[in-house]
Structure 1
Amino acid sequence: MKKQWIRLGCGLDISKKTFHGCLGGYTQESRFIVHAQKKFANTSSGIIAFLKWLEKHKQKLDETGSLPFQLLLETTGVYHEGVLFAAHEAGVAVCLEVARRVKLYLRSIGQESKNDKLDARGICQMACERKFQLWKPFSDNIYQLRSALRHRKSLINSRVRLDNQLHAANFSKTASKDVKASYKRLIKQMEKEIKALEKHIVELYEQDQVLAERLNPIIESVLGLGLFTALTIIAETNAFSLITSRKQLASYVGYDIIENQSGNKKGKTKISKKGNARIRSVMYMGALSVIRSGKGPLYDLYLRVRHRNPKAYKKANVAVQRKLLLLVYTLFKKRERFDLEKYTLKTSKDMKVVAPN
């Protein structure tokens, strides 16, 4: 008897050199069945072969093209990008999921063993069971901004390491003059590269007039928000194109609250930190600017958290980070600049704010 399929899916487990594809679906009896599996080279020719293989087998299962179908990939650094872009350009309904959620799903269906074939099968089943948001590529300008901003951050981290090494060498009794001179030359060259890169980033930003018109009023009106902080937020979220709510944004960046409470047990409440660390890094610096300024509604928020617990500096800093990020999101979506009267925190009107000692 011919199987009656009700939905189809394809899962890919991708590594540096190869990727394993699994095509399957659910029948009318609510049974998940694997139709075909194959291993491909993670190269241009291998990706083309995969797309042909997928089209061939999908046509066998769904001649009319009416059944729901998703191609699901998990994030793997940069190794998934070749298949991702090629599938999107070929018109395939391709979706992307973070590795942590895939891992939790595989555990939920009782998959204990791990290999490429089993992982592809599990991802295929996940694609059949759940509805994912279709992946869309960023604009070329956003990709260039993101790449330049990430490189800038990497250069800054390298410069900090060199500064620390030079500091240690200056206080060392055994470090040679040649080593110190080498550190100084490297630091000077690094600073030169950073300045040139920042100039390039500003040029990219100014070329995108639509983005500049929406972002400039926010940067000018929000205290603690610098150009590179704002651009990092925009570049890492594709201008919030896939973000539909403040809660989703907080989770994406890792500011979602994790509670640890059961019965009489009351553990620590903390943020998950399982999101985009690049955005959290720049938000930390933005929060520092707010706190050092000593004014504004976000600083009032900082004081309220410190007033409840004078020792909770980090918690107060994170609260400012989260509020600043959500404020940028709201203003960007509404195409507004910051209005102090409209966005002043409600509790600041009635609560007496006491500065921490």
Structure 2
Amino acid sequence: MAKLAGLKVGLEATGIYHVDLAIALHDADVPVMVVNPKAARNFAKVLMKNSKTDAVDANTLAEYVERMDFVAWSRPSNQTLALRCFARRLKALTGQKVAAKNHLHALTATQETPKAVLRDAKLAIAHLEKRIDVLSAEALVLIRQYPELDRVLQLLTGIKGIAETSAIALMGELLLLPPGLSHRQWVKFAGLDPSAFDSGKSVHKKTRLSKAGNSHIRAALYMPALSAKQHDPYVKAYFQHLLDNGKLPLQAVCAVMRKLLHAIHGMLKHDKPFDNARFYAIPASTGQEKNP
């Protein structure tokens, strides 16, 4: 350990491949900073690096750690790391199920498809659904072993539109964010922050989502936002308010996702259930009931 005194390490986030090394260094009391690949790439551009090799990338990361403010990586607990594995595997299986259902729809569009092929396609869907159910149940067993995780599950499923599957997906990502972040920083981590592009008097591009953050968080919020705008009167009123003010439906859904993330941040920070009346104040003139 004496040889490691004063050592700082910078790693570029590479999916899950950097995690084991980051944990090993952290557990050996070596300060670790996990660098966003986009930040490392832009830093290399600033240095006018013309080549990209392993040696060049390593030197660039070393210079990044030396010059920039060192932000130490916070080690997630083993249970939250396991929960993220469950969440991402469930997402992958759900994507496979959607693809299998689309394939079955294509097969049934023609009478020339043999019945044996249709049976096999349906069997593949049933098999995927069973695997999803088994993994979801295992994830819930893990969550209920830890009171702090079980409490988060209860808070999330208290929001109309967030069922257990969506809650697992959200927990698998949100609980691994660095502690102490504000709700705006959560939004930025999710890539739900607006990105403006204005230059001079003539260039004014439409404001879009940055999408520079964790795509898994955005994916986990999408279906809950769609469901909440249908079943929660306050979320529905907020969605309609956005449409009435010129937002396109997809823009309004993204705004609901962002506002839901704000709400979840507050709920977990203060350990309080979702208060839909605080989500959006319904104007009295709309004639909608104040209580769902």
Alignment pair present for 1:204 and 2:139: no
Which residue number in structure 2 is paired with residue 158 of structure 1? 96
**Equivalent residue runs for 1:182-331 within 5 Å:** 182-220=120-158, 222-238=159-175, 240-264=177-201, 265-293=203-231, 295-296=233-234, 298-309=235-246, 312-331=248-267
Equivalent position SS for 2:33: strand
How far residue 219 of structure 1 moved from its aligned partner, in angstroms, is 2.5
Alignment pair present for 1:180 and 2:180: no
* AA aligned opposite 1:224: G
How far residue 231 of structure 1 moved from its aligned partner, in angstroms, is 2.8
How far residue 87 of structure 1 moved from its aligned partner, in angstroms, is 1.3
Which residue number in structure 2 is paired with residue 81 of structure 1? 19
* AA aligned opposite 1:330: G
Equivalent position SS for 1:268: strand
More strand by share: 1
Identity of aligned residues (%): 26
TM-score by length of 2: 0.89
User: In structure 2, how many angstroms separate the alpha carbons of the residues matched to 1:132 and 1:351?
Assistant: 52
| Greater Cα radius of gyration, structure 1 or 2 | 1
Instruction: State the structure with bigger RCO (CA 8 A, min sep 6), 1 or 2.
Output: 2
TM-score by length of 1: 0.74
- After TM superposition, what 4+ stretches of structure 1 lie above 6 angstroms from structure 2? none
How far residue 173 of structure 1 moved from its aligned partner, in angstroms, is 4.4
Which residue number in structure 1 is paired with residue 280 of structure 2? 345
Against the structure 1 CA distance between its residues 149 and 84, is the aligned structure 2 distance closer, same or farther, given a 3 Å change threshold?
same
Against the structure 1 CA distance between its residues 353 and 248, is the aligned structure 2 distance closer, same or farther, given a 3 Å change threshold?
farther
Contact kept, 8 Å, 1:304 with 1:353, in 2: the verdict is no
Equivalent position SS for 1:95: strand
* AA aligned opposite 2:132: I
How far residue 324 of structure 1 moved from its aligned partner, in angstroms, is 0.5
**Equivalent residue runs for 1:44-55 within 5 Å:** none
Contact kept, 8 Å, 2:190 with 2:215, in 1: the verdict is yes
More helix by share: 2
Contact kept, 8 Å, 2:10 with 2:35, in 1: the verdict is yes
Q: Any stretches of 5+ residues in structure 1 without a counterpart?
A: 1-51, 59-64
Against the structure 1 CA distance between its residues 70 and 131, is the aligned structure 2 distance closer, same or farther, given a 3 Å change threshold?
farther
Q: Deviations over 1:87-135 (max 9, x none)?
A: 1122111110121110001111111211111111111010011123212
* AA aligned opposite 1:250: V
Against the structure 1 CA distance between its residues 166 and 217, is the aligned structure 2 distance closer, same or farther, given a 3 Å change threshold?
closer
User: In structure 2, how many angstroms separate the alpha carbons of the residues matched to 1:132 and 1:304?
Assistant: 43
Which of residues 86, 90, 108 in structure 2 aligns to 1:148? Answer: 86
Q: Deviations over 1:307-328 (max 9, x none)?
A: 0116x00110100011001100
Against the structure 1 CA distance between its residues 304 and 215, is the aligned structure 2 distance closer, same or farther, given a 3 Å change threshold?
same
Equivalent position SS for 1:266: strand
**Equivalent residue runs for 1:3-18 within 5 Å:** none
